């Protein structure tokens, strides 16, 4: 009995030194204590500390710990090989443990069931998609994003345009054209079928020959009512009527009032091809009615072919950013018009000026429809006619310079 008591006393005295020896065997110099609770073989309620580069497997330390349901332990990390190689095979990680990015998890570690992306998550607007190969933005040829031509609110557009056709010789006709207009948009009855109301004023300064005598200025003052409607998923209509006064403003007569208009229908054959048909009413002395027909083809976002008579246009996008685009284009234009003039005091007449303009232009378009443009054109087919017995004449071909700004 005395021997047993002496043996038990020796074990009690030596036990602290044995524990310290075990701790020293598994101790790493730069680690910190970690506390936790093990319940049913899984650890919870602890958080590792210290340098993550020294973290290693828990298997050696866990193997020496009893399987208690609610025991609190203080232990140190043991060096038992890299984490993720063989160290985690026998240890269950708790859900709330966050591992560093440079630590590899074994294949069987999965996200909890409650971790999921919500269904309403979508790509933000600033993430743009490109067709073709995935190239850097400055090397992408086909940019899918389209700028909106509409603004939020009542005011849709303010525009200022100036054109100059020089007089090459005294017998020719020179023109300087200045136009300003403003457009507002109203729901009719909804925003999907808007009514656009445009008020415009244009003045033409004439530098003409001595005979026949022409007024120094011709004026256009008009209001256009335009209604756009998508009547079917693939059908749309464009209706417009534009009453106005076209004269030299010297004397009023019925010929000064002219009502222009158009009725067009479009059919979306494919998402990139539209068919256009309709009529354009000019209310001019030389040409009163013109058919309108053609196609609008957009093979990709960097090209647009508006092959529509009487105003065709082929455009190519050469530059684009988040809120602007640069386009170069060629176009055709049927220019001129008819005006009531005072030929001599007390005698009214109607003069008609006609020409065809082949245009090369460069424009910058901004989000909301604003921008600016510059054009150079070759002007041919020029003719000046009178309703009276005055003889008509044909000015020589010339060129045109035009600049425009739009808000």
pLDDT digits (tens, 9 = 90+) for 253-283: 999 999 999 999 999 999 999 999 999 999 9
C-alpha dihedral (304, 313, 166, 392), degrees to nearest 10: 180
Alpha carbons 203 and 218: distance in angstroms, whole number: 6
pLDDT single digits (tens) 195-248: 999 999 999 999 988 778 889 999 999 999 999 999 999 999 999 999 999 999
Please name the residue that has the structure tokens 């063989």. 86
Q: Give the model's confidence band at 96: pLDDT under 50 very low, under 70 low, under 90 confident, else very high.
A: low
Average pLDDT over the chain reads 75
Angle at 259 between CA 178 and CA 194, to 5 degrees: 85
Residue among 238, 158, 251, 253 nearest 200 (CA): 158
Domains and CATH numbers, the chain: 24-115 (no CATH), 155-406 (2.40.160)
pLDDT single digits (tens) 6-16: 554 454 545 44
Alpha carbons 226 and 223: distance in angstroms, whole number: 10
Q: Please tell me the predicted confidence (pLDDT) of residue 320.
A: 94
| 59 DSSP assignment | H
Residue among 245, 242, 240 nearest 339 (CA): 245
Q: Please tell me the predicted confidence (pLDDT) of residue 100.
A: 55
Alpha carbons 328 and 244: distance in angstroms, whole number: 32
Contact assessment for residue 212 and residue 386, using Cβ atoms and an 8 Å cutoff? yes
Task: Go through 167-202 and write b for each residue having 16 or more CB atoms within 10 A of its CB, e for each that does not.
Answer: beeeebbbbebebebebebeeeeeeeebbbbbebeb
Q: Give the model's confidence band at 145: pLDDT under 50 very low, under 70 low, under 90 confident, else very high.
A: low
Q: Please tell me the predicted confidence (pLDDT) of residue 183.
A: 97
- Tell me the whole-structure pTM to 2 decimals: 0.64
Residue among 149, 69, 153, 55 nearest 104 (CA): 55
| 98 DSSP assignment | P
Sequence-separated (6 or more) residues with CB below 8 Å from residue 21: none
> Most distant CA pair in the chain: distance in Å?
151
150, 199, 226 from 196: Cα distances, Å: 11, 10, 5
Residue among 195, 269, 274 nearest 228 (CA): 195
Q: Please tell me the predicted confidence (pLDDT) of residue 209.
A: 83
Contact assessment for residue 49 and residue 34, using Cβ atoms and an 8 Å cutoff? yes
Q: Tabulate helix, strand, coil % of the chain (nearest 5).
A: 10, 50, 40
């Amino acid at each position: 009995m005395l021997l047993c008591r002496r043996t038990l006393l020796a074990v009690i005295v030596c036990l602290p030194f044995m524990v310290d020896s075990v701790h020293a065997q598994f101790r790493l110099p730069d680690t910190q204590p970690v506390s936790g609770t093990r319940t049913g073989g899984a650890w919870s309620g602890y958080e590792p500390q210290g340098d993550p580069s020294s973290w290693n497997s828990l298997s050696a330390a866990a193997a020496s710990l009893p399987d208690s349901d609610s025991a609190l332990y203080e232990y140190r990390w043991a060096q038992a090989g890299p984490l993720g190689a063989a160290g985690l095979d026998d240890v269950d990680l708790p859900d709330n443990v966050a591992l560093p990015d440079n630590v590899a998890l074994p294949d069987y570690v999965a996200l909890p069931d409650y971790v999921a992306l919500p269904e309403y998550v979508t790509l933000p607007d600033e993430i743009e998609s490109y067709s073709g190969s995935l190239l850097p933005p400055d090397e992408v040829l086909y940019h899918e994003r389209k700028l909106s031509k509409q603004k939020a609110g009542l005011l849709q557009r303010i525009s200022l345009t100036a054109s100059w056709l020089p007089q090459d010789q005294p017998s020719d006709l020179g023109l300087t054209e200045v136009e300003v207009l403003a457009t507002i948009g109203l729901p009719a009855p909804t925003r999907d079928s808007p009514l656009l109301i445009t008020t415009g004023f244009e003045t033409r300064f004439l530098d003409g020959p001595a005979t026949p005598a022409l007024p120094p200025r011709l004026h256009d003052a008009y209001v256009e009512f335009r209604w756009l409607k998508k009547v079917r998923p693939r059908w749309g209509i464009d209706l417009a009527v534009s009453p106005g006064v076209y004269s030299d403003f010297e004397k009023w007569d019925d010929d000064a009032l002219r009502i222009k208009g158009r009725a067009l229908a479009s059919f979306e054959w494919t998402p990139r091809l539209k068919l256009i048909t309709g009529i354009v009413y000019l209310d001019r002395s030389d040409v009163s009615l013109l058919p309108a027909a053609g196609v609008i083809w957009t093979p990709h976002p960097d090209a647009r072919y508006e092959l529509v008579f009487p105003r065709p246009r082929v455009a190519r996008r050469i530059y684009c950013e988040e809120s602007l685009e640069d386009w170069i284009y060629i176009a055709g234009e049927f220019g001129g018009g008819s005006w009531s003039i005072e030929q001599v005091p007390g005698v009214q007449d109607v003069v008609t000026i006609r020409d065809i303009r082949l245009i090369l232009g460069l424009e910058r378009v901004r989000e909301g429809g604003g921008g600016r443009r510059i054009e150079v054109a070759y002007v041919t087919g020029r003719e000046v006619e009178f309703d009276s017995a005055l003889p008509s004449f044909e000015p020589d071909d010339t060129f045109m310079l035009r600049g425009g700004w739009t808000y």
